[in-house]
Amino acid sequence: MKRSEINRIMQDAKTFMAEKQFILPPWAFWNLNDWKKYKNFTGEIITNMLGWDITDFGSGDFYSRGLFLFTLRNGKFGVDMKPYAEKIMIVEENQETPMHHHYTKMEDIINRGGGNLVIELYNTTPDNNLDSTTVHFKADGISRSVEAGGKVVLTPGESICLEPHIYHRFYGEQGSGKVLVGEVSMVNDDRSDNCFYNEVGRFPETTEDVAPLHLLAADYDKFLKSST
Protein backbone atom coordinates (compact mmCIF):
# COMPACT_ATOMS: atom_id res chain seq x y z
CA MET A 1 0.00 0.00 0.00
CA LYS A 2 1.16 3.55 -0.66
CA ARG A 3 1.78 5.72 2.38
CA SER A 4 -0.43 8.40 0.83
CA GLU A 5 -3.35 5.92 0.76
CA ILE A 6 -2.68 4.91 4.37
CA ASN A 7 -2.63 8.58 5.41
CA ARG A 8 -5.94 9.19 3.65
CA ILE A 9 -7.55 6.17 5.33
CA MET A 10 -6.30 7.42 8.71
CA GLN A 11 -7.76 10.87 8.14
CA ASP A 12 -11.12 9.44 7.07
CA ALA A 13 -11.08 7.16 10.14
CA LYS A 14 -10.42 10.09 12.47
CA THR A 15 -13.38 11.95 10.97
CA PHE A 16 -15.71 8.95 11.30
CA MET A 17 -14.68 8.18 14.88
CA ALA A 18 -15.18 11.82 15.83
CA GLU A 19 -18.68 11.69 14.37
CA LYS A 20 -19.39 8.62 16.53
CA GLN A 21 -17.74 10.29 19.58
CA PHE A 22 -15.13 7.56 19.89
CA ILE A 23 -11.97 9.24 21.18
CA LEU A 24 -8.50 7.75 20.74
CA PRO A 25 -5.71 8.23 23.31
CA PRO A 26 -3.51 11.34 22.82
CA TRP A 27 -0.48 9.35 21.60
CA ALA A 28 -2.53 8.18 18.61
CA PHE A 29 -1.95 11.60 17.06
CA TRP A 30 1.81 11.83 17.57
CA ASN A 31 4.05 12.50 14.61
CA LEU A 32 7.45 10.87 14.07
CA ASN A 33 9.28 13.52 16.10
CA ASP A 34 6.93 12.96 19.04
CA TRP A 35 7.61 9.22 18.90
CA LYS A 36 11.36 9.74 18.89
CA LYS A 37 11.04 12.12 21.84
CA TYR A 38 8.93 9.80 24.00
CA LYS A 39 9.90 6.32 22.74
CA ASN A 40 11.82 5.44 25.91
CA PHE A 41 8.52 5.65 27.83
CA THR A 42 6.39 3.72 25.34
CA GLY A 43 7.70 0.17 25.70
CA GLU A 44 4.25 -1.37 26.18
CA ILE A 45 2.87 0.39 23.10
CA ILE A 46 5.75 -0.74 20.91
CA THR A 47 6.21 -4.26 22.28
CA ASN A 48 2.49 -5.10 22.31
CA MET A 49 1.78 -3.53 18.90
CA LEU A 50 -0.73 -0.95 20.07
CA GLY A 51 -1.89 1.71 17.63
CA TRP A 52 -2.85 2.17 14.00
CA ASP A 53 -3.21 -0.92 11.82
CA ILE A 54 -4.36 -0.67 8.20
CA THR A 55 -4.31 -3.63 5.85
CA ASP A 56 -5.56 -4.58 2.42
CA PHE A 57 -4.63 -8.23 3.12
CA GLY A 58 -2.39 -8.06 0.06
CA SER A 59 -5.38 -7.53 -2.23
CA GLY A 60 -4.28 -4.20 -3.70
CA ASP A 61 -7.86 -2.95 -3.20
CA PHE A 62 -8.44 -1.79 0.38
CA TYR A 63 -12.12 -0.94 -0.06
CA SER A 64 -12.98 -4.39 -1.44
CA ARG A 65 -10.78 -6.48 0.85
CA GLY A 66 -9.24 -4.61 3.73
CA LEU A 67 -9.70 -3.38 7.29
CA PHE A 68 -8.94 -0.37 9.45
CA LEU A 69 -8.00 -1.19 13.06
CA PHE A 70 -6.59 0.61 16.08
CA THR A 71 -5.37 -1.53 18.99
CA LEU A 72 -6.13 0.36 22.20
CA ARG A 73 -4.77 -2.16 24.72
CA ASN A 74 -3.09 -5.53 24.57
CA GLY A 75 -0.96 -7.87 26.66
CA LYS A 76 1.94 -10.07 25.67
CA PHE A 77 2.38 -13.61 26.97
CA GLY A 78 5.56 -14.01 28.98
CA VAL A 79 6.17 -10.25 29.11
CA ASP A 80 3.38 -8.71 31.18
CA MET A 81 0.33 -9.75 33.20
CA LYS A 82 -2.39 -8.18 31.04
CA PRO A 83 -4.65 -11.03 29.77
CA TYR A 84 -6.95 -8.93 27.56
CA ALA A 85 -6.99 -6.75 24.45
CA GLU A 86 -9.27 -4.16 22.84
CA LYS A 87 -9.50 -2.86 19.28
CA ILE A 88 -11.66 -0.42 17.38
CA MET A 89 -12.26 -1.13 13.69
CA ILE A 90 -14.03 0.50 10.76
CA VAL A 91 -15.69 -1.73 8.16
CA GLU A 92 -16.97 -0.26 4.90
CA GLU A 93 -19.99 -1.53 2.99
CA ASN A 94 -19.05 -4.80 1.22
CA GLN A 95 -15.46 -4.50 2.47
CA GLU A 96 -14.37 -8.04 3.28
CA THR A 97 -12.19 -9.23 6.09
CA PRO A 98 -11.42 -12.71 4.72
CA MET A 99 -12.32 -16.01 6.33
CA HIS A 100 -10.11 -16.86 9.30
CA HIS A 101 -10.10 -18.32 12.80
CA HIS A 102 -7.89 -17.98 15.87
CA TYR A 103 -5.97 -20.77 17.56
CA THR A 104 -6.26 -19.38 21.11
CA LYS A 105 -8.04 -16.02 21.09
CA MET A 106 -11.63 -15.75 22.28
CA GLU A 107 -13.24 -12.47 21.23
CA ASP A 108 -16.39 -10.39 21.33
CA ILE A 109 -17.10 -8.43 18.15
CA ILE A 110 -19.38 -5.46 18.84
CA ASN A 111 -21.25 -3.14 16.50
CA ARG A 112 -20.49 0.25 18.08
CA GLY A 113 -22.53 2.29 15.60
CA GLY A 114 -23.17 3.17 11.98
CA GLY A 115 -24.39 0.47 9.62
CA ASN A 116 -24.91 -3.28 10.05
CA LEU A 117 -22.11 -5.84 10.24
CA VAL A 118 -22.55 -9.19 8.48
CA ILE A 119 -20.55 -12.16 9.82
CA GLU A 120 -20.42 -15.58 8.13
CA LEU A 121 -19.53 -18.56 10.34
CA TYR A 122 -18.14 -22.08 10.02
CA ASN A 123 -16.74 -24.57 12.49
CA THR A 124 -13.17 -25.71 11.84
CA THR A 125 -12.09 -29.23 10.96
CA PRO A 126 -8.92 -30.68 12.56
CA ASP A 127 -6.99 -29.87 9.34
CA ASN A 128 -8.23 -26.24 9.29
CA ASN A 129 -10.87 -26.67 6.60
CA LEU A 130 -14.48 -25.47 6.73
CA ASP A 131 -16.71 -27.88 8.61
CA SER A 132 -20.30 -28.64 7.56
CA THR A 133 -21.68 -28.81 11.10
CA THR A 134 -23.99 -26.33 12.82
CA VAL A 135 -22.21 -23.41 14.50
CA HIS A 136 -23.24 -22.64 18.07
CA PHE A 137 -22.39 -19.27 19.61
CA LYS A 138 -23.67 -16.57 21.94
CA ALA A 139 -24.82 -13.10 20.93
CA ASP A 140 -25.11 -10.65 23.83
CA GLY A 141 -25.29 -13.62 26.20
CA ILE A 142 -28.07 -15.38 24.26
CA SER A 143 -27.41 -18.86 22.85
CA ARG A 144 -27.89 -19.06 19.08
CA SER A 145 -26.89 -21.23 16.15
CA VAL A 146 -26.61 -21.07 12.36
CA GLU A 147 -25.95 -23.66 9.71
CA ALA A 148 -22.45 -23.85 8.25
CA GLY A 149 -21.80 -20.65 6.30
CA GLY A 150 -24.77 -18.95 7.93
CA LYS A 151 -24.89 -15.19 8.31
CA VAL A 152 -25.29 -13.25 11.53
CA VAL A 153 -26.21 -9.56 11.11
CA LEU A 154 -25.19 -7.29 13.98
CA THR A 155 -27.09 -4.03 14.19
CA PRO A 156 -25.70 -1.14 16.29
CA GLY A 157 -25.35 -2.23 19.91
CA GLU A 158 -25.32 -5.97 19.16
CA SER A 159 -22.35 -8.27 19.64
CA ILE A 160 -21.22 -11.84 19.10
CA CYS A 161 -18.80 -13.99 21.12
CA LEU A 162 -16.49 -16.11 18.98
CA GLU A 163 -14.57 -18.94 20.59
CA PRO A 164 -11.27 -20.19 19.12
CA HIS A 165 -11.49 -22.32 15.97
CA ILE A 166 -14.67 -20.70 14.63
CA TYR A 167 -14.04 -19.54 11.09
CA HIS A 168 -15.50 -16.10 10.36
CA ARG A 169 -15.46 -13.45 7.71
CA PHE A 170 -17.26 -10.13 7.91
CA TYR A 171 -18.23 -7.05 5.91
CA GLY A 172 -20.54 -4.07 6.11
CA GLU A 173 -24.06 -4.70 4.87
CA GLN A 174 -24.70 -3.00 1.55
CA GLY A 175 -26.83 0.14 1.86
CA SER A 176 -26.48 0.49 5.65
CA GLY A 177 -23.30 2.60 5.79
CA LYS A 178 -19.85 2.03 7.24
CA VAL A 179 -19.66 0.37 10.64
CA LEU A 180 -17.71 1.23 13.79
CA VAL A 181 -16.75 -2.16 15.23
CA GLY A 182 -15.28 -2.93 18.65
CA GLU A 183 -13.32 -6.01 19.62
CA VAL A 184 -12.76 -7.13 23.21
CA SER A 185 -10.66 -10.27 23.49
CA MET A 186 -7.98 -12.30 25.13
CA VAL A 187 -4.42 -11.21 24.38
CA ASN A 188 -4.10 -10.62 20.64
CA ASP A 189 -1.14 -11.83 18.54
CA ASP A 190 -1.80 -11.20 14.87
CA ARG A 191 1.57 -12.63 13.87
CA SER A 192 0.93 -16.19 15.15
CA ASP A 193 -2.71 -16.67 16.18
CA ASN A 194 -4.52 -16.01 12.89
CA CYS A 195 -5.33 -18.88 10.55
CA PHE A 196 -6.69 -17.62 7.22
CA TYR A 197 -8.58 -20.08 5.04
CA ASN A 198 -6.74 -18.69 2.02
CA GLU A 199 -3.29 -17.19 2.40
CA VAL A 200 -3.27 -13.39 2.73
CA GLY A 201 -0.78 -10.64 3.52
CA ARG A 202 -1.76 -9.53 7.03
CA PHE A 203 0.81 -6.70 7.15
CA PRO A 204 1.28 -5.37 3.60
CA GLU A 205 4.48 -3.72 2.42
CA THR A 206 4.33 0.08 2.44
CA THR A 207 5.56 2.25 -0.43
CA GLU A 208 6.89 5.49 1.06
CA ASP A 209 5.62 8.05 -1.44
CA VAL A 210 4.94 10.66 1.30
CA ALA A 211 5.79 11.07 5.00
CA PRO A 212 3.63 9.18 7.53
CA LEU A 213 0.71 11.09 9.04
CA HIS A 214 0.94 8.79 12.09
CA LEU A 215 3.00 5.64 12.54
CA LEU A 216 1.37 2.26 12.06
CA ALA A 217 2.09 -0.37 14.70
CA ALA A 218 3.92 -2.23 11.93
CA ASP A 219 6.17 0.84 11.48
CA TYR A 220 7.72 0.81 14.95
CA ASP A 221 10.65 -1.43 14.07
CA LYS A 222 11.36 0.56 10.92
CA PHE A 223 11.17 4.08 12.32
CA LEU A 224 11.96 3.75 16.04
CA LYS A 225 14.16 0.80 16.95
CA SER A 226 16.97 1.98 14.66
CA SER A 227 16.71 5.66 15.65
CA THR A 228 18.65 7.40 18.40
Which of 203, 223, 222, 159 is closest to 71 using CA atoms?
Answer: 203
- What is the DSSP code (8-state) at residue 218? G
Which of 26, 48, 35 is closest to 228 using CA atoms?
Answer: 35
- In the chain, what percentage of residues exceed pLDDT 70? 99
- In the chain, what percentage of residues exceed pLDDT 90? 93
- What is the DSSP code (8-state) at residue 136? E
The domain ranges of the chain are 3-223
Please give the class, per CATH, of domain 3-223: mainly beta
The pTM for the full model equals 0.96
- What is the DSSP code (8-state) at residue 198? S
Instruction: Say if residue 204's pLDDT is above 90.
Output: no
**Average pLDDT, whole number, for the chain?**
96
| 209, burial (CB in 10 Å: exposed 0-12, middle 13-18, buried 19+) | exposed
Which pLDDT tens digit goes with each residue over 54-93? 999 999 999 999 999 999 999 998 899 999 999 999 999 9
Which pLDDT tens digit goes with each residue over 17-54? 999 999 999 999 999 999 999 999 999 999 999 999 99
What is the reported pLDDT for 227?
53
What is the reported pLDDT for 56?
96
Which pLDDT tens digit goes with each residue over 99-113? 999 999 999 999 999
The per-residue DSSP string of 106-122 comes to: -EEEEEEEES-EEEEEE
Beta strands 151-154 and 117-123 are antiparallel
Instruction: Say if residue 119's pLDDT is above 90.
Output: yes
